[in-house]
């Protein structure tokens, strides 16, 4: 099938403003959007810039706005989009070049919630045991691949880039509800700040955007309840 791909391109060092580049070529329905991007870069215009690595939905490098929806380019097939495809950088983060955005603010928020196990108890002889039921409480949150599809689909983040964002909150959830962790108070203090989780307006964009199927809005609500319970 013949497809038409429009890519929003921008090189801040060379272009006065972003512009749409237009590419028309033959593809097959089972090509992924990442294959389409690779074809353009390798066969048509080597200056096209985008991130990718694993090509299997694991590394989280290639989140893009594809036909108006945040997705991983390596997980979307041409046949599911049709012959007209638009690709833009994810929103709310500064464009460095074409589809590459500055991820530093996103990772600053991630680091702020202390994304590691905090437990100063003496190290046990064997592993710290946890029941299947205890794991189930936060298991979904462990699936985050930090692609930023959720945070950059959030209208609150678009208007306030300091908002800590759903990805950071869901990673806080991963540790707050882990029975082996003792850092809940520190994390909740971070999340209770003026740019923390109370900025969430329950738009559900994050849940819809997550390529891992994490019920992010539910996780955010659980952290809100935990914060209220701890303050009561």
CB of 211 to ligand FES, least distance (A): 8
CB of 76 to ligand FES, least distance (A): 10
- What is the phi-psi region of residue 76: left when phi exceeds 0, alpha when psi lies from -120 to 50, beta otherwise? beta
CB of 212 to ligand FES, least distance (A): 10
Question: Which one, 53 or 130, has the nearer CB to ligand FES?
Answer: 53
CB of 232 to ligand FES, least distance (A): 41
CA 221 to centroid of chain Cα atoms = 18
Question: Which one, 74 or 216, has the nearer CB to ligand FES?
Answer: 74
CB of 137 to ligand FES, least distance (A): 26
Cβ neighbors of 201 (< 8 A, separation 6 or more) are: 155, 156
In this structure, the chain runs to a length of 232
Q: What strands, in cross-sheet order, belong to the sheet with 19-26?
A: 19-26, 2-9, 84-88, 63-66, 69-72
Question: Which one, 38 or 179, has the nearer CB to ligand FES?
Answer: 38
Q: Where are the beta strands (DSSP E) in 27-106?
A: 63-66, 69-72, 84-88, 95-97, 100-101
From the list 195, 29, 185, 31, the residue with the least C-alpha distance to 108 is 195
Question: Which one, 61 or 205, has the nearer CB to ligand FES?
Answer: 61
Question: Which one, 56 or 225, has the nearer CB to ligand FES?
Answer: 56
CA–CA dist 92, 85 (Å, integer) = 21
CB of 55 to ligand FES, least distance (A): 5
CA distances from 7 to 13, 74, 203 (A): 18, 16, 27
Binding site for ligand FES (CB under 6 A): 52-55, 57-62, 72, 74
3-state secondary structure of 178: coil
Question: Which one, 9 or 212, has the nearer CB to ligand FES?
Answer: 212
């Amino acid at each position: 099938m013949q497809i038409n791909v429009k890519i929003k391109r921008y090189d801040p060092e060379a272009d006065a403003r972003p512009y749409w580049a237009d590419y028309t070529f033959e593809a097959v329905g089972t090509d992924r959007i990442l294959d389409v991007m690779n074809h353009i870069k390798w066969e048509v215009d080597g200056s096209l810039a985008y991130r990718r690595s694993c090509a299997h939905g694991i590394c989280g490098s290639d989140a893009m706005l594809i036909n108006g929806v945040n997705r991983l380019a390596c997980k979307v097939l041409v046949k599911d989009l049709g012959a007209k495809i638009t690709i833009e950088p994810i929103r709310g983060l500064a464009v460095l070049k074409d589809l590459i955005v500055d991820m530093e603010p996103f990772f600053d928020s991630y680091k702020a919630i202390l994304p590691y196990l905090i437990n100063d108890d003496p190290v046990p002889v064997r592993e710290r045991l946890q029941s299947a039921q205890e794991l189930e409480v936060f298991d979904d949150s462990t699936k985050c691949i930090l692609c930023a599809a959720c945070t950059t689909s959030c209208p609150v983040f678009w208007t306030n880039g300091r908002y800590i964002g759903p990805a950071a909150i869901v990673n806080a959830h991963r540790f707050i509800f882990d029975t082996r962790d003792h850092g809940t108070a520190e994390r909740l203090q971070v999340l209770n700040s003026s740019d923390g989780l109370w900025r969430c307006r329950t738009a559900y964009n994050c849940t819809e955007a997550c390529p891992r199927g994490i019920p992010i809005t539910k996780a955010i609500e659980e952290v809100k309840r935990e914060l209220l319970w701890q303050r009561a």
